[in-house]
Amino acid sequence: MDDYRGSCLCGTVSYLIQAKPKAVTHCHCRMCQKQHGAAFATYASVPRADFHYLSGEVLLASFASSGTVVRKFCSICGTNIEWRSSDNFADWISFTLTTLDTPFVPNTIRQVHLDSKACWLDTPGKH
């Protein structure tokens, strides 16, 4: 069985996943950019039944970013933990891949919402 553990920056919120993460995605939508303060957010998904909070669940803050999506984050350190949809994938949870403490290397990573990709993302830097 695949077991993966994750936590927020301050360690107050921790979780256990009892399934191999699927559908790994770099999301470039404006909501993810704003929520993460970054060019994109990386999420993976697992069935809701395989995602378990071990600590800090009561300290999660929620934000309804649309009519069908609720995003959750640690109310202490602000780490983005998950988003859930009441729409197409109601039995799944998408979590931020960077909060995993257990190593996981996806086979593939999809790029989505490239229409709002940050215009500076692929700008070559000077060293």
Q: Does the residue 92 lie in any domain?
A: yes
What residues contact 36, with CB distance under 8 A and at least 6 apart? Answer: 80, 96
Q: Domain containing 80 — which CATH number?
A: 2.170.150.70
CB 66 within 8 A of CB 83: no
In a structure prediction context, what are the per-residue pLDDT tens digits for the chain, which is 127 residues long? 689 999 999 999 999 999 999 999 999 988 888 888 898 999 999 999 999 999 999 999 999 988 888 899 999 999 999 988 878 778 999 999 999 999 999 999 999 898 989 888 887 776 6
Residue 53: domain span: 4-116
Q: Does the residue 121 lie in any domain?
A: no
Domain count, the chain: 1
Q: Does the residue 124 lie in any domain?
A: no
Q: Does the residue 123 lie in any domain?
A: no
Q: Does the residue 126 lie in any domain?
A: no
Tokens of 116: 């709002």
